[in-house]
Amino acid sequence: MAELGSSTAPPVLKLDQVAVAYKIRGGEIEAVQDVSFEIYRGETHGIVGESGCGKSTVAWAVLNFLGANGYVKRGNIKFQGQELVGVTGEELRRLRGDQIAMVYQDPMQALNPSMRLGDQLTEVLTVHRGMDNKEAEKRCIEMLERVYMPDPANVMKRYPHQISGGQQQRVVIAMALLNNPALLIMDEPTTALDVTVEAAVLDLIAELRRDFDTAIMYISHNLGVVARVSTRVGVMYAGEMVERATVEQIYKKPSHPYTQGLIRCVPKLGADKAGSVLYPIRGRVPPPANRPAGCIFGPRCDYVRERCREERPGLRQLPHGSWVRCHFAEEIDAAQWTPTEDILPPSLEAREVPAEPILEVKDLKKYYEVAGSSLKDVVGLGEKRYVKAVENASFVLNKGKTLGVVGESGCGKSTLIKTLIGLEDTTDGEAKFLGFDITNDISDRDTKLIQELQMVFQNPDSTMNPSYTVGQQIGRPMQRFKTVPKNQIRDEVIKLLQAMRLGANYYERLPRQLSGGEKQRVGIARALASRPDLVLCDEPVSALDVSVQAAILNLLLEVQQEFDTTLIFIAHDLSVVRFFSDDVAVMYLGQIMEIGPADAIYAPPYHPYTEALLSAVPVPDPTVEQKHIRLAGTVPSAIDPPSGCRFHTRCPRRNMLPEDGKICEEEVPPWRYATDEHRIFCHIPVETLQKFEPVVTTGE
Amino acid sequence: MLVKDYMTRHPILIPPTTPAAEAQKIMQENKVRHLPVVGDGKRPLGLITRERLRIAPADLGSLNVWEITRYLAELTVNGVMVKGEDLFTIGPDATLEEAAEVMVQNKIGCLPVVEENVVVGIITETDMLIQLADLLGAGVPGARVTVRLPGKVGGYAKIINSISARGWGMYATGSVPAPKREGCWDIVLKVRDVSPDQVVAVLEQVEDCEIVDVRET
Amino acid sequence: MTVAAGTKTQAEPSRWQKMWKSISIVFESRVATVGLIMVLFWLIVGLVSLVWTPYDPNASDFAQNLPPNTTNWLGTDHLGRDIVSRLMTGTQVILLKTRLPGDSNISIPIGVAIWGVLGSLALGALLGLNAGYRSGWADQGIMQVLDALIAFPRIVLYLVVIAALGRGDLVVIFAIAITGAPGVARLARSLAMDIRTRDYIRAAETRGENVWFIMFREILPNARGPLLVDAMLRVGYAIFAIGTLGFLGIGLPPPDPDWGNMVNEARRNIFANPLAVVWPALAISTLVIGLNLFADGLSEELSRYQR
């Protein structure tokens, strides 16, 4: 298409200094203070920010979903040249049905669980376009094919709960596109999905944008995902848009200190271990009631000056095209930045530690029995079925090391941890901790043993008991295990709090007064209170914002060095475990597929699953070249796992073996040893595996 | 070169209840000259153009000042739009030539593109002009040569072959029956990275070939 | 994600201020405030009656079946006793004191209704938490037993208990506790089942805490809210129960006046003295409604800030 015509097209959506406020008891809160941006036809505009920055509020304001107490206080929102603020009734309904569509994070919010998918999809067409049912059905099946839904005719007859999360999201996207809207708003549509499924959905979104020429507003807190789908990006902080630029500019030359800080917090795959150090942003997001008078980011900024404290900057354009909300943006050079004392991560040099195994696991199996529903099963005569959650896990963990376990949902990593800590008992296999057998349930274990093996949990909101103060909760393990005499407990707790970089005044606080990051720190303190030898961390940072994640990860590193603890760290994201794990294990459907030193995992030879995982992780760096390997199908059920190698149903490398990988279906693969410590569970010989190209290369 | 590849998707659409004054504002602010009027489900109902918004004095002749003001204030696009028989539309799978034909025959500058009773885009004179310019290689530097040939089979191929035999990149070509010359065809060639003189030298070798115009653009 | 209230360095609020803050939630709700006023009214009446009533409630000093007049503000009953004094004293046994069995005249503080509810709370919480947390066979077993209890009509249960144990304040308390326990257990069980899924319970388990600790120190404090609100409603039911028992004639032993009893006796004389039946009935209903409103409003306020 010629360049002649496109520059004069008006933007599909234009926000101009929009402010959104919510009325609450005794006043109002401005959730969004000043947001301006525009989206043109065929463009994807990403909106990035951490929790509480107001990005979802912006989306709802566009659609007038603010609820009874929200309203657009200032500014105007123009859709296709027409003012949206204040549109109600019939016209709003028509706009929402015909021209603007929204996709949410949780597909179950958009799908009615009691209606068949076919009915829901055709409803969009029959109600808005007055189509007849047959015609509408045909259209819907066509659209489902467009979104690469396997077996669309069958899917139409099913209910939402009968298809997987990734498929549900595809259906929602299909529904949104059925009426060919001019604007599509996507609010974190892939956050709830596994990495490999997310990658496939992101590919789909890119393709659809091309075909339908829709303007897309893509909201996410994940910088990598936004980098992959957007052409332009807006960064929001505490209700304001602080930077707006093209994708390349944002990631290569961020102008606002907050953006620069964010980029430094995001784990990167491309660099080597040393280059993937994370630097958190000090301080915390100010609550809406307490925003500073000057620049909102001022208190956390490395470059803050007098003017920043007094005068709030406006959004202005820099010579190279970005828009920045900063007084001194031209003078800030991200390349010259050095970390200050308080956010300096601990050194990563390998300490000379004698290799002393403290955890030895051999052929660990955990099967859950599936309660049958037929009469035979109730009586006990039916054939027993098992969910084979963990199958033959074997590894050795040395003292002072960190093992990262990575896998998608359903791979058995949480079950593995629960079995080790005793919340579940093992079905078969051996596990020895400090020489003691830990295949039994926790109620059978000795108190001294329990003391040495503790856990950090995933969800910061539910990890603390809401009825007790921080001090009481950290003190409880000390009390129980009698590690410290009663009168010294308080001092010990305060010492721990300080090690967590929390002040002594946190002792009296209740959990509801803490932020997510602080709660997680208390959770870690509680786990460490009894000075355990081994701490199991179940995705401790997945529920936290990126900048807080970085701080917690650094804290864990520090803690490990100071207290000489061994860690097992579970994550679903390969990039997160990279910089601080010594060893990494990759799990799939209950099986460990690859395990070895961290550096070895991220370079060939790879297990085909590791390769697919690495190519699916969204990398927030446009200069990085990433291979494009997508897994077909979905994760099979663990009740009837595939025979032989469990990955054979989806393995993209099957064809490297004779007869299209027949051996993968028939025989359990052997362990291939790339080095003494790095082994891969695959039929393909190591020499062939070594020939794979690296998935991620920095194109410089 | 079908309509669907060159139309503007997601044009600005207005409901029939939009006041005429508002429609005018929209056109002005967004620098568009045509606004399709749609109902539920983007059903095409009519088209508003600048022309349509000009109220003929004859209509207002019988009203006094106050009535005129009220009439104008209450006037919605429904009352003034092109609709029904007068509304021409085209399908997305039609060729550009067909669209051009419709536009010329009916002296209109814009066609809403309608598929299954839903407005999916809009194609205007400007889009056509852009296409014409593209066709002839506008904006690309090179030698532009117009050649006239008698209407014999194979003449075209000879021209093309002589250029490609030299290994030159032909960026665009268009051919039309020669204006003012019966039985002859004019062919416009845009050749890249070559000086016009070189092209002329080659073309003169081809039989029956008459160089009508040479320039560097 | 919650955000902390900022690290302002101001003085920690005093204990009174903290208490006031938690109590003042009540005043946010008009419904709860009205309910509170009604309950407080009766409490105060009861407290006053401990030291003073217009006349002796048990003395038949007046003419029988008098309508309200200047000496007897609400009139007299069929035995010539002043109704106002009887009403006031009736509050005591419900809310304020329980008489111990035997001939001694000792009473322990806190009325029968409240002891009964506390009993049902304790028993119900014990059973419900066990059922909810342990689940499996313990759950099934306990709930089946409780279901069986619920299947009995209440009055039948009361009769059984009283027939077995005789009359007396303590017996009534026991009866109320037994009939109230299944409802409380149900509530406690569902709360326990919900709270059981939280990570802090997991954390307690990984510390090897024993089951009783987890139930009573980890789960119960977080189940307090709904249980307490439910308990307040139950005081209302208990008052009804005492009234019913009194009405049936098997309630608290005479001579101390008891509203249910008063309604019963006045009913028999309704043609002679129609109003005499109204006053105790009004008393029962206002107290129960007051408690209900209070509980209602309070639960609405508490759930407004539900995490």
The pLDDT tens digits of the residues spanning C33-68 come to 898 899 889 888 888 888 888 888 777 777 777 788
Q: How far apart are CA B137 and CA A166, in angstroms?
A: 46
Flag if A466 and C222 touch (Cβ within 8 Å): yes
Tell me what the mean pLDDT of segment A467-492 comes to: 89
Distance CA C109, CA C119 (A): 15
Contact yes or no for C35/C43 (Cβ under 8 A): no
C203 touches chain A (CB under 8 A): yes
ipTM, two decimals, is: 0.80
Cβ contact, residue pair C199, A477, below 8 Å = no
Contact B40 A128 (CB under 8 A): yes
A283/A299 Cα distance (integer angstroms): 8
State whether residue A509 sits within 8 Å of chain B by CB: no
pLDDT at C201 over 60: yes
Please check whether residue A24 touches C, CB under 8 A: no
Q: A379-422 pLDDT, tens per residue? A: 766 677 888 889 889 999 988 889 999 988 878 888 899 999 88
- Rounded (10°) angle between helices A608-616 and A195-212: 50
All chains having 3 or more CB pairs closer than 8 angstroms to chain C = A
Alpha-carbon gap, residue A384 to C223, rounded angstroms? 38
Task: For residue B120, give the nearest of A8, A81, A180 by CB distance.
Answer: A180
C3 contacts in chain A (CB < 8 Å) = 52, 284-285, 287, 515
pTM: 0.79
What does the block give as tokens for A530?
A: 């009894």
The residue written with tokens 């200190």 in the block is A257
The confidence score (pLDDT) of residue A273 equals 59
Q: What band does A615 get if pLDDT is binned at 50, 70 and 90?
A: confident
| Closest CA–CA distance from residue A375 to any residue of chain C (Å) | 19
Structure tokens at A681: 């569970």
Confidence check: pLDDT of B29 > 90: no
Question: Sign of torsion, CA B106 B108 B114 B119?
Answer: negative
Q: How confident is the model at residue C306 (pLDDT cuts 50, 70, 90)?
A: very low
pLDDT, greater one: A171 or B194: A171
Higher-confidence residue of C97 and C231: namely C231
Residue C304 banded pLDDT, cuts 50, 70, 90: low
CB contact under 8 A, B26 and A81: yes
Percentage of chain B with pLDDT > 70? Answer: 97
What pLDDT is recorded for position A617?
85
Q: What average pLDDT is seen over chain A?
A: 85
Residues of A in contact with C195 (CB under 8 A): none
Task: Return the number of CB contacts < 8 Å for A and B.
Answer: 74
Contact at CB, C5 and A445, closer than 8 angstroms: no
| Best mean pLDDT range from A312-326, A631-645, C99-113 | A312-326
Of the listed ranges A76-90, A651-665, B118-132, C247-261, the least confidently predicted one is C247-261
Tell me: pLDDT of C138 over 90: no
Exposure of A507 in the CB half-sphere (CA atoms within 13 A)? 13
If you ran DSSP here, which 8-state letter would residue C216 be given? I
> Is residue A9 within 8 angstroms of chain B, CB to CB?
yes
Q: Mean pLDDT lowest for which of A4-18, A153-167, A248-262, C210-224?
A: A4-18
Give the distance, in angstroms, between the CA of residue C172 and the centroid of all CA atoms in the same chain: 13
Which amino acid is located at A78 in the chain? K
pLDDT higher than 70, residue C277? yes
- Confidence category of residue C3, pLDDT binned at 50, 70, 90: very low
- Structural domains present in chain C: 28-306 (1.10.3720.10)
Give yes or no for residue B113 having a pLDDT over 50. yes
So what's the pLDDT on residue C8? 42
Range B40-68 average pLDDT: 80
- Residue A219 pairs with which residues in a beta bridge? A47, A187
Predicted confidence band of residue A5 (pLDDT cuts 50, 70, 90)? very low
A574-601 pLDDT, tens digit per residue, is 887 887 788 999 999 988 999 998 888 8
Q: How far is CA C198 from the centre of its chain?
A: 31
Averaged pLDDT for residues B8-34: 86
The yes-or-no verdict on residue C169 having pLDDT over 50 is yes
Chain B environment of A41 (Cβ under 8 Å) = 8-10
pLDDT band at C307 (very low <50, low <70, confident <90, very high): very low
Closest CA to A413 of A654, A194, A673, A168: A194
Helical spans, DSSP H, in chain C? 15-23, 25-28, 30-51, 83-91, 112-134, 137-151, 154-165, 169-195, 199-206, 211-213, 220-248, 259-268, 275-304
Q: Residues B136-147: what's their mean pLDDT?
A: 80
Run of H or E including B173:
strand B170-177
Mean pLDDT along residues C266-291: 85
Mean pLDDT of A519-548: 89
- Residue A583, token pair as written in the block: 């060893």
Q: Choose the closest CB to A463 out of C200, C208, C222.
A: C200
